[in-house]
Each structure stands twice: as structure tokens, then as C-alpha cells.
Amino acid sequence: MTDGAHPLELRGITKRFGDLVANDGIDFDVRDGEVHALLGENGAGKTTVMRIAYGLTRPDAGQISVDGQQLAIRSPRDAITAGIGMVTQHFALVGPMTVAENLALGRSRGLHLDLAAAVRRASDASDRFGMRVDPTARVEDLSVGEQQRVEILKALSRDCRILILDEPTAVLVPNEVSALFDTLRSLVADGLSVVFISHKLAEVRAISDRVSVLRRGRLVGTVAGSTDERELARMMVGRPTFGVERPTDANPPSETPTLRIRGLHVAGTHGLPALTDVSLDVGAGEILGVAGVSGNGQTELVELLSGMRQPTGGSVTVGGAEVAGLDPARMMSAGVGRIPEDRHASLIGDLSVAYNLVLERLDDFRSGGRIDERSVRDHATELIRRFDIRAGPDHLVTTLSGGNIQKVLLARVLSRDPRVLVVSQPTRGLDVGATEYVRSQLLARRAGGAAILLVSEDLDELLALADRLVVLYEGRVVGEMPAADADIDELGMLMAGRGGAA
């Protein structure tokens, strides 16, 4: 290492996608044994510049140096060889393989894998980093949160000296976040350098030594990690932002629930029950928050209410009409709208914004058996205006930032004015500005009389938005309470299965 050199140094990084300048001459470095946070709204360029550092994207201009040596990083293999590891927002796991096999990918020599040894190494890594996951489980059978843990384990178990974490806590509950931070502090104390990308300002202040802020592809500045949250938010979006406040003039929820679930049973994988005897009510003008560690039945509940999964018992009514077992189209016709946890899987990246906005109602835009292109475009133009989507009707969804992709999904669902809104992880991976926008839309729907079931692993989000909370553990409701009276310690105990039903 050259004297005074940083483990990772980027100079003049520039990247264009057509007319869009994603990175405009960015300078960034991370020092030995520090956590350097990278903040910015979605579309600000923070993920792009780190993808360049990891070899997933080629820059148009600029230099990358590791330990003072200028390198040409053309692929992740080059980055890993240089000691750089990265956990990306979108998983790079092989679904049919087990956790142990995924952790062993790229590390075994020859054609033979010692599976028993791989399982032992995976189990050791799980214990060491405090993130429990079954080494023998197939990745495709894991929940989104569990898959995220595998990604983090895969990166931490490699011998990297520079670790890039892109929204690593998005699917972790508080005790898991604390365990991850303890692990990072231990690794940093041993000399690891960490780049930490997160939209959660409190986490950034808790874990980082320095914070660099990007806005519209440019570096706004670098400050100490202890900098006040207001100042960090102002640097990110040009104004102080702390989310949205619940409207004080909202109507109280109606006594007759719009959504009523009674004795619901749903089968999971391998014939095991995913939900057992679940009963819930959500009234008009109410948000019911569903808390729980990922993998405790939340995904199956959302899929059932979206028509994607069949119940094995129980009743689900919307406005008094039975809807259990309906397919997605008929569920939508019954007045149920769904904002799923995987926004990318709900949209077609290679289609335009305009066509993604009408995918679920193409028949409404047919004229003489053909799609009325002008009507599709006019519809998109109106929704782009209403929902502040920063894109044109003809832009491909795959070119949009995460926040704008979520706005496209919101526009498609909310423009139908559903009576019941089933929402799962609506702000996962979004920055402060986009999070504020999504939450304000949910509160506006609540004020307008919609019944909203909100599934989130972000307790701060649930406490900020929900009127009541229920906790799911191993497919059962183990606790219920008004959000205003919720105790974080009690919630944590219930989520861990160490509390009685309330």
C-alpha cells in the first residue's frame, strides 16, 4: 500500500445513460477501519457509483484506486480479487441451490463440492455473524428477508477488506440490525472498510464515521457521521424531511369492518401450515399494521388477499361479500388493491411506463379489438402528473430509480380507488424523499376511507402509520394493540415468540 493511500478511492467517476447523467465527476474514498455512509434520493446516483466500484457497471470516465494502485475493475471477479465485496439491493442468489451451496459458489475448486464441509462453513458463518439461517434450506423456499440474510452472510464470509452494503437492513428487525451493527463494528475494529448505503438517517448516524451525500448525480458534500439528521435530510433533498404526520382531521374508522378475516388457514411449503386460525378486522379509514420477523406468514397472508394463494379454511369478506379463493382479477374487481413487496416482479422492466400503468386493465383501452395507443399515452401522462413520476410515458421501467418504480406501481393501483389496500414493505430500499411520498399516499387513502392492511418489517414505519398493530409469529396472531400504546420491547418479545397473546 502506498503511504497515505486509502483502501478505496474513486476520482472523477462519470456515468451517462443516454441523456441522463447518473454520476457527474464524483470523488469518493473510504479509509482503513471506518464506515463511510453514502446517502441520496433514489436516482441520485449512489448505487450506480458503487456498482462501478464493484465492476457491475463500466464508467464513462474516472479512476478507481485500491491501496493507492489504479485498477481497471471490469467485473465483480476483478473487484473480489482486489478485496472488494458488495451486497446489492437485488439478490444474486441461485434459487434451486441451498444456502450452503450459494455461500460456496465461486470458492470451491474443481468440479466436486464437499457438501458436508460447505454446510459446516455456512453454519459457522451464521453463528459468527449472528444471523441464523438453515444452511440446508433451498434459497427459493426462503422469504425475502431470509434471502437478504444469505446475501449479507455471503459477502461477510468472503475475505474482503472493503465491503459495500446497499440497504443491508431493509428487511431486518431491530435486534437483527443491532447484531449486524455489532458485527460491523467488530470487523471495522479489525481494519475492514465499509461503504454503507441506507435511507434510514438514524442508522447512518449510529454506524458511520463519515457521510457523503449525492444529489442528482453530484456530490453535495461529506460530513461527520454525527451530523444532525435535519442537516443530512436537507443535503439529500434540499429541505429538512422527517416523513409525514398523521392528519388530525381524519375520520375515525367505521365500526363495521370493510375487510374481515375469520379462522383463516393457509398451507405453506412442504404441506406445513403458513397461517393458522388467523382472524383480523380492518375498518374503513383505518390502517392495521402487521409486524413480525420475515417468514412468519406475512407473505402468505398478502398472497391470499391478492388472489395469488388459496386458503385451506376460513372466511375473508370485503364489504360483506366473500372473496376467499378468488383469482387476482376477481379480487381486484371486488375492490382489493395490492402493493407487493417485490415491486420489480410486479412490473415489466422492458415495457414502457405507459404500458405498465395499464397492464391490469388492457381491455379498457381497446378500440375495435386493438389497443388505443393515444388513450394509453394520455392515461399515462395524467398519472405521471398526479403521482409525480419523474419519467416520460415512453421510458422503460427498467431505467427508472427505485422510488419512481414504486410510484408507477402506486399509480396503477391507487388510480382504481380500491376499498381495501393490501400493502407489503412499501418503502423497502427507498430514500427519505421517496419514503415520505409513499407514506403520505397511504395516509391520504386512509383519510379517504380505504381499509389498509400494512405489512412491514420496519417498526418505525408501522408506529408512524398504523392505528392498530398485530404481531404474527409462526403463522398465528400472538398480539394485538393500539399503535399509540405499543411498547417496542413488548413488540420485540412477541416477534421473537417470547410473549403471550394480547
Q: Which three cell numbers stand for residue 231?
A: 442537516
Q: What is the pLDDT of residues 29-59, one digit of tens each?
A: 999 999 999 987 666 788 899 999 999 999 9
**Which amino acid, 389?**
I
Q: Are strands 420-424 and 370-371 parallel, antiparallel or unpaired?
A: unpaired
- pLDDT at residue 496 greater than cutoff 80: no
- pLDDT at residue 344 greater than cutoff 70: yes
pLDDT of residue 29: 96
pLDDT of residue 288: 97
- The pLDDT-based confidence of 501 (bands split at 50, 70, 90) is very low
Q: Distance between CA 302 and CA 253 in Å, rounded?
A: 22
Q: Distance between CA 208 and CA 227 in Å, rounded?
A: 10
Q: What is the domain class of 257-495 according to CATH?
A: alpha beta
- The pLDDT-based confidence of 467 (bands split at 50, 70, 90) is very high
Bigger pLDDT: 110 or 25? Answer: 25
Asked whether this chain's domains 8-237 and 257-495 adopt the same fold, the reply is: yes
- pLDDT at residue 290 greater than cutoff 70: yes
Contact between 285 and 252 under an 8 Å Cβ cutoff? The reply is yes
Question: Which residues, including other chains, have CB under 8 Å from residue 478's CB and lie 6 or more apart?
Answer: 471, 472, 494, 497, 499, 500, 501, 502
pLDDT of residue 461: 87
Percent of all residues in the chain with a pLDDT value above 90, rounded to a whole number? 51
For 246-398, strand residue ranges (E) read 257-267, 273-283, 286-291, 313-318, 321-322, 336-339, 366-367, 370-371
pLDDT of residue 375: 93
Q: Which three cell numbers stand for residue 36?
A: 463511510
pLDDT of residue 250: 47
pLDDT of residue 42: 63
Percent of all residues in the chain with a pLDDT value above 70, rounded to a whole number? 89
Q: Which three cell numbers stand for residue 458?
A: 420496519
Q: Distance between CA 87 and CA 29 in Å, rounded?
A: 18
Q: What is the pLDDT of residues 236-254, one digit of tens each?
A: 766 444 445 555 544 555 5
User: Which residue from 445, 451, 423, 419 is spatially nearest to 281, judged by alpha carbons?
Assistant: 451
**What one-character DSSP code corresponds to residue 70?**
E
Q: What is the pLDDT of residues 115-127, one digit of tens each?
A: 898 899 899 888 8
pLDDT of residue 474: 85
Which of 187-196, 375-384, 493-502 bottoms out in mean pLDDT, i.e. has the lowest?
A: 493-502
Q: Which three cell numbers stand for residue 346?
A: 410486479
Q: What is the pTM of this model?
A: 0.59
Question: Which residues, including other chains, have CB under 8 Å from residue 427's CB and lie 6 or more apart?
Answer: 199, 406, 434, 435, 438, 439, 456, 458, 461
Strand partners, 30: 8
Instruction: Indicate the CATH number for domain 8-237.
Output: 3.40.50.300
Strand partners, 479: 471
Q: What is the pLDDT of residues 169-222, one digit of tens each?
A: 766 666 667 878 888 898 898 888 999 987 677 788 899 999 999 888 999 999
Q: What is the overall mean pLDDT for the chain?
A: 86
pLDDT of residue 73: 95
Q: Are strands 273-283 and 257-267 parallel, antiparallel or unpaired?
A: antiparallel
- What value does the mean pLDDT take over residues 276-287? 96
Strand order in the sheet with 420-424: 336-339, 420-424, 451-455, 286-291, 468-473, 476-482
Question: Which residues, including other chains, have CB under 8 Å from residue 11's CB and lie 6 or more apart?
Answer: 27, 62, 63, 65
φ/ψ of residue 460, rounded to 5: -60, -40
- pLDDT at residue 309 greater than cutoff 70: yes
Annotated domain spans of the chain: 8-237, 257-495
Q: What is the pLDDT of residues 404-445, one digit of tens each?
A: 999 999 999 999 999 999 999 898 777 777 888 899 999 999
Neighbour count for residue 281 (Cβ, 10 Å): 17
Buried b (16+ CB within 10 A) or exposed e, 398-432: eebbbbbbbbbbbbbbbbeebbbbbbbbbbbbbbb
pLDDT of residue 218: 93
Alpha helices in 33-143 (DSSP H): 46-53, 76-81, 99-104, 115-129
- The pLDDT-based confidence of 502 (bands split at 50, 70, 90) is very low
Q: Distance between CA 479 and CA 456 in Å, rounded?
A: 16
- What value does the mean pLDDT take over residues 463-477? 92
Neighbour count for residue 81 (Cβ, 10 Å): 13
